[in-house]
Amino acid sequence: MYCPYIDGWFVATPGSFWADHLTPRHWGNFPEKALFQGFAIYAAMFAGACYAWRNRIADRGLVLAGVGTAIVLAILSTRWGYNVSLWAVVHALVPGANAFRAIGRIAYAFYLFGMIGGLVGAQKLIDTRIVRPGKKTAVFALLAAIMIFEQTRPFPEHFDKQAEFFEPAKSLVPALDGVDTAYLMYDESMPCYRHEIAAMWAGLWAKVPVMNGFSGTLPPDHPGHGVRPSLEELLKMLGPNWSGKLAVIEWGPPVTRIVYQVSPGENPATRIRRIEP
């Protein structure tokens, strides 16, 4: 699910210069897969690799290895069909391949190797085509300026952490008083990952473990992020041997809670009793 579509390599980050101009589909269809960093980078990689391929320059191996590695990474990680990607082979056979869980990490390696090889090759190309040092400097400066300009985000996404995160999280602390665990129900008032993290912060401040949490890997029986699980699902996540007071919290405003007394057992109907309010 994290592998990019083919045209994901030409979808720019929202708020950047090329945003939403290079694909017929909306960037919202590419969560974490808007990988385009500008035409100048691709041009430098292409020109540098072509020059090194045709000419036996001193750094030929470095150029071809760098750009070649980038190309291989792109081929392996791209989703070529509905749910088909060669990364499945890498994931199954290469030790540690699971470290590349998110496509952004693969794209970082793609640009890292591709730019090293491409820029070394482009420098050799410019050195052979232009004799005067002043003109070389101007060409290098122009190339750098274009790369920087294409990657600029003049209006990046932002929010006030104190107002939009810490204060709402602190408002949950009183709702955790006198209970053994709690689950904060999702209400779409903030992105689901921020919702889960806010619940974790509230639990840390109140010194009460919460059932919410955000991670790329979910524990068994966890209902998932951004959902409203039933009491039966919460009991299943707690396990048959757990007992104590469970609070189910709603954001509100105001923040409200329902507290249940949970006893050990297998039958959800007999092991839970509402005690508040």
C-beta of residue 172 within 8 angstroms of C-beta of residue 202: yes
Q: Which residues contact 8 (CB under 8 A, 6 or more apart)?
A: 30, 33, 34, 35, 78, 103
Question: What percent of the chain clears pLDDT 70, i.e. is strictly above it?
Answer: 96
pLDDT for 189 equals: 86
Calpha distance 51→62 (Å, rounded)? 12
φ and ψ of 89, to 5 deg = -70, -45
pLDDT tens digits along 163-181: 888 888 899 999 999 999 9
Q: Is 178 left (phi over 0), alpha (psi -120 to 50) or beta?
A: left
Instruction: Please report where in the chains the tokens 């730019």 appear, as a residue.
Output: 115
Given CA atoms 68, 73, 76, 82 in this order, what sign does their dihedral have? negative
Calpha distance 251→111 (Å, rounded)? 42
Q: Average pLDDT, stretch 112-134?
A: 93
| Size (the chain), residues | 277
Q: Average pLDDT, stretch 258-263?
A: 96
Q: Average pLDDT, stretch 46-61?
A: 94
Residue 27 binned pLDDT confidence (cut-offs 50, 70, 90):
low
Calpha distance 68→45 (Å, rounded)? 10
C-beta of residue 183 within 8 angstroms of C-beta of residue 198: no
Taking CA atoms, 64 is separated from 36, 105, 142, in Å, by: 21, 22, 24
Report CA Rg, the chain: 26
Residue 219 binned pLDDT confidence (cut-offs 50, 70, 90):
confident
Whether pLDDT at 115 is above 90: yes
Tokens representing 127 are 């050195």
Q: Nearest-CA neighbor of 41 among 10, 64, 65? A: 10
C-beta of residue 73 within 8 angstroms of C-beta of residue 9: no
Which is higher by pLDDT, 104 or 129?
A: 129
pLDDT tens digits along 99-111: 777 777 888 999 9
Q: Nearest-CA neighbor of 263 among 244, 248, 247, 276? A: 244
* pTM, rounded to two decimals: 0.68
C-beta of residue 41 within 8 angstroms of C-beta of residue 72: no
Which is higher by pLDDT, 244 or 5?
A: 244
Whether pLDDT at 46 is above 90: yes
Calpha distance 75→86 (Å, rounded)? 8
Question: What percent of the chain clears pLDDT 90, i.e. is strictly above it?
Answer: 53
pLDDT for 179 equals: 96
φ and ψ of 69, to 5 deg = -60, -40
Helical residues (DSSP H) of 3-102, grouped into ranges: 39-54, 60-77, 87-93
Taking CA atoms, 216 is separated from 50, 98, 152, 193, in Å, by: 40, 11, 29, 11
